[in-house]
Amino acid sequence: MKVFYTSEHQSHAPESFMLRGQRVPCPEIPQRAEILKKAVSRHELLKCSNHGSGAIEAVHDSNYLEFLHSGFDEWSALDGASPEIIPNVHPNRNMSHVPRHIVGRAGFYQSDTSCPIGAGTGAAAVASAQCALSAADTVLSSSEDRVAYALCRPPGHHAYADMAGGFCFINNVAAAAQACLNHGATRVAILDIDVHHGNGTQGIFYHRNDVLTLSLHGDPDYFYPFYAGYADETGIGDGLGANRNRPLPKGTGDSDYLQALEPELEAIMSFAPDVLLVALGLDGSEHDPLAFLAITTAGFRAIGERIGGLTLPTVLVQEGGYVSNVLGDNLSAFLAGYESSSESVTA
């Protein structure tokens, strides 16, 4: 399995974020990617190549991208501003205008305090997306590579078309899905197994039926991102029926998770996608510092096996998963599980 990586992620190294009214260290740190890189050392490691901005611009608002790339300079010029952009006022309901002031734009384009933007954030986010685009290109272009893994950092699935959030800035898996369509695929499925709902991905494709979005995640009634990820969100307009959410109760373990996964896999096969993209969060781990679910390393292997067993061309896109003793093991286990079942079927 080819693995796409770039060291450019290191230019995004957030110092802190705001949680429950307190400034605390940010868990989405460069060390994550280095742990994951070590875990895939038996695979062929490739530097991601530049696939241009077309797919990124197709899934993001141009004014948002402009903010992401130039906002930091404006922010830094403010009296008393923090070292990274952290918003303090938001449009919420009953408001509509996009203001010119950087504090107002920050709150318009960042829906929470968990997506601090520093000098290198925009470049790192684009490089991260290029890893996903590289993996997608490989799977679509090569008859030998039925699967590829993009070691994306920062992650992407909380990024909406026009909003950063939850450590995410550019929606890597959404850009890769769009690239697949641009490359000739007619139907694409995105299965999100991060512990947090893939709200940005859902939002980007909510009105479309060429991309089936499915997410299993901690119940948003009690867990980030709180305002989306409920089972009754099924898409709108042309997209009606092309979004599936499976909220899971706190503490859900391997067995219940695998049971909840089954109907989602069946829905994928019914949709008959040309390509499957997996938003591969590892923060469902029982040992993750942001723990909500309780998946073991064996559980990640089993999840990988089940997804590999679909034998679809597959782009694996790294999402969350934070520093713990089992972070690398869980990635290795997922990939080994995926390969074992995809190989056993195709052999």
Measured CA to CA, the distance from residue 327 to residue 210 in angstroms comes to 33
Q: Report which residue type is found at 129.
A: A
Q: Is 13 in the site for a copy of itself (CB under 8 A)?
A: no
Q: Is 231 in the site for a copy of itself (CB under 8 A)?
A: no
Minimal CA–CA distance to 334: which of 312, 301, 307? 301
If one counts every other C-beta atom within 10 angstroms of the C-beta of residue 18, the result is: 17
Q: Is 269 in the site for a copy of itself (CB under 8 A)?
A: no
Q: Is 164 in the site for a copy of itself (CB under 8 A)?
A: no
- Which residue number, 137 or 319, has a Cβ lying nearer to a copy of itself? 319
Q: Is 119 in the site for a copy of itself (CB under 8 A)?
A: no
Residues 93-112 that bind a copy of itself (CB under 8 A): 93-101, 103-104, 107-108, 111-112
Q: Is 85 in the site for a copy of itself (CB under 8 A)?
A: yes
Determine whether 51 is an active site residue: no
Q: Is 91 in the site for a copy of itself (CB under 8 A)?
A: yes
The least distance separating a copy of itself from the CB of residue 274, rounded to whole angstroms, comes to: 27
- Which residue number, 226 or 266, has a Cβ lying nearer to a copy of itself? 226
Q: Is 92 in the site for a copy of itself (CB under 8 A)?
A: yes
Q: Is 323 in the site for a copy of itself (CB under 8 A)?
A: no
Minimal CA–CA distance to 220: which of 250, 241, 258, 262? 250
- Which residue number, 199 or 341, has a Cβ lying nearer to a copy of itself? 199
If one counts every other C-beta atom within 10 angstroms of the C-beta of residue 219, the result is: 17
Minimal CA–CA distance to 181: which of 270, 264, 89, 58? 58
Q: Strand 44-47 relative to strand 2-5: parallel, antiparallel, unpaired?
A: parallel
Residues 197-226 that bind a copy of itself (CB under 8 A): 199, 203, 206, 220-226
Minimal CA–CA distance to 131: which of 173, 159, 162, 184? 173
How many positions of this chain bind a copy of itself (CB under 8 A)? 56
If one counts every other C-beta atom within 10 angstroms of the C-beta of residue 115, the result is: 30
The least distance separating a copy of itself from the CB of residue 324, rounded to whole angstroms, comes to: 18
- Which residue number, 135 or 228, has a Cβ lying nearer to a copy of itself? 228
Minimal CA–CA distance to 299: which of 280, 317, 286, 316? 286
- Which residue number, 167 or 334, has a Cβ lying nearer to a copy of itself? 167
One DSSP character per residue, 241-287 reads TSEEEEEE-TT-BHHHHHHHHHHHHHHHHHH--SEEEEEE--TTBTT
CA angle 340, 318, 346 (to 5 degrees): 25
Residues 132-161 that bind a copy of itself (CB under 8 A): 160
Measured CA to CA, the distance from residue 261 to residue 306 in angstroms comes to 9
- Which residue number, 115 or 150, has a Cβ lying nearer to a copy of itself? 115
Among 81, 260, 267, 336, binds a copy of itself (CB under 8 A): 81
Which residue is catalytic, options 9, 158, 196, 217?
A: 158
Residue 102 phi, psi (nearest 5): -65, -35
Which stretches of the chain bind a copy of itself, using CB under 8 A? 18-24, 75, 78, 80-86, 88-101, 103-104, 107-108, 111-114, 116, 160, 162-163, 165, 199, 203, 206, 220-228, 230
State the catalytic residues: 158
